[in-house]
Amino acid sequence: MIHVIASIGVKPGKRPEFIEIFKKNVPNVLAEKGCIDYIPAVDAESGIEVQRKDETVVTVIEKWESIEALHAHLASPHMEQYQADVADLVEDVSLTVLENA
């Protein structure tokens, strides 16, 4: 199993619009072969001192059966369309790809 943590930095004030577009694509991703989980998340108020909160970040928590499934996901037509749809809203993206220890 592969775990992915995607950190998507969006332009200030654009997070609600980004999330709306993102959520429209979630059913397409969940229907992909090998997708186990695909969840957008934002920072919660926790009261924990070491937490870094950022109102311009959406974190995507993903689980895939294999690295091959993740590669197929990244090349899928609906992901290409999603990337075009959010291009003017996104400032940066970083991925952390993990496997079980």
Q: Report pLDDT digits (tens) over 17-60.
A: 999 999 999 999 999 999 999 999 999 988 898 888 899 999 99
What fold characterizes domain 2-45+53-99?
Alpha-Beta Plaits (3.30.70)
- Give the pLDDT of residue 33: 97
Q: What pTM was estimated for this model as a whole?
A: 0.92
- Give residue-wise pLDDT tens across range 53-95: 899 999 999 999 999 999 999 999 999 999 999 999 999 999 9
Q: How far is Cα 66 from Cα 63, in angstroms, rounded to an integer?
A: 9
Q: Where are the domains of the chain?
A: 2-45+53-99
E strand residue ranges, 1-101: 2-10, 35-41, 57-64, 90-99
79 HSE (CA, 13 A, CB side): 12
Q: What is the pLDDT of residue 52?
A: 85
CA distance 97 to 69: 13
